[in-house]
Amino acid sequence: MAAVSSMNKMYGVCFHAVRQTAGLKASRLLQHRAFRVSAVHRQQPFDSSLEKPQFPGASAEFVDQLEFIQPNVISGIPVYRVMDRQGNIINPSQDPQLSKETVLNFYQKMTLLNTMDRILYESQRQGRISFYMTNYGEEGTHIGSAAALDPSDIVFGQYREAGVLMYRGFPLDLFMAQCYANADDLGKGRQMPVHYGSRDLNFVTISSPLATQIPQAAGAAYAVKRENMNRAVICYFGEGAASEGDAHAGFNFSATLECPLIFFCRNNGYAISTPTNEQYRGDGIAARGPGYGMLSIRVDGNDVFAVYNATKEARRRAVAENQPFLIEAMTYRIGHHSTSDDSSAYRSVDEVNYWDKQDHPISRLRHYMTTRGWWSEDDERSWRKQSRKTVMEAFERAERRLKPNPDLLFTDVYQEMTPNLDKQRESLWRHVQQYKEHYPLDLYDK
């Protein structure tokens, strides 16, 4: 709710800015970054004597041959990468030249996320939490993109971007509190597991309905632009979500309103059980960008440096030029879609093993560090032991913590409790008192 409140304030800023703009003096207007107005967007003077198309909706020439445009007119978009699978830099000019400390932080965050995933996945299998979604194989897309952003940039996630939040400093205790829905949960136990959010870290609370975050991100980016805040918005989604109507709305709004927004698509091969060859017929998601007037790029999502470089440049230009960018990160979902899914029903073990053993973002970065003498077998053993201990300690604290006060079922909807909510709350407590042997209230926060 805190995140929603923050967004409401931003939308308020947007409408306030619209009302005030008409009254701004010329000197005040000069202080604001000029909004980009491309010549191709302006209506050209009408000249009936010219034998060329005058239609306002497109820039084109007449032809006298009947020919349909082929679907592969935009096909084979290349995949940008910096490192090969052995962690070698391919083109030195593309090396981001990150410090040893920064690269070690990348690796430790990626592996810590992996460790947290394993423990919470097993926790769900043991019946300790109700649901979980792992991030196996996609860690590079999280950390590479998160590192390229400014902390003030607003993040709209889908439900597989825990690493972005972790990189921004979200503590393990709050990850655990959310999954266990205990009294420390920022969402007060109202969301299902992995639906994180943090107002302090500018991470808008995740919602389950697919692709709703895409038009929301467009609105937030427009508000940010109107306020001239030198901030960007990044919106994560999967290739399956790109089939939703909300994706079209978000792409089109952001392009026509010229918003500083990065659309980050994690193309991991499967939308739950639907493979990409059943999801779309074109050349992936990046091919759609030109149709909306967006600059697009396809990157190797298992190469954390490629993701970092692409996101950093997209972020720089989105803010400087007020325009959206589309990044398609090609990766692979090694784990099941969620604890409700069994991916062995629709893909082979050999397929999964290939990506897990031969083209994993964590092993690729480890090869890079090992080659430079920044990481050893002893370092690996020590870190794995330490990180597991840290995660387990947070896990145990979360299990011992009380559940949220039941009264929180009725708060944060209205500023003042309405009469019907008062009646519902009174009815609840009468029921609980009448059948208190079935309700262990000692497990709930007072």
Residue 233: φ, ψ to 5°: -120, 140
Assess whether 59 carries a catalytic annotation: no
**Please, are residues 152 and 319 in contact by the beta-carbon 8 Å criterion?**
no
Assess whether 338 carries a catalytic annotation: yes
Assess whether 145 carries a catalytic annotation: no
Assess whether 208 carries a catalytic annotation: yes
Catalytic residue among 41, 75, 122, 393: 122
Catalytic residue among 338, 343, 360, 387: 338
Tell me the residue type at 152: S
Catalytic residue among 139, 337, 360, 387: 337
Catalytic residue among 152, 208, 344, 348: 208
Active site residues: 122, 208, 337-338
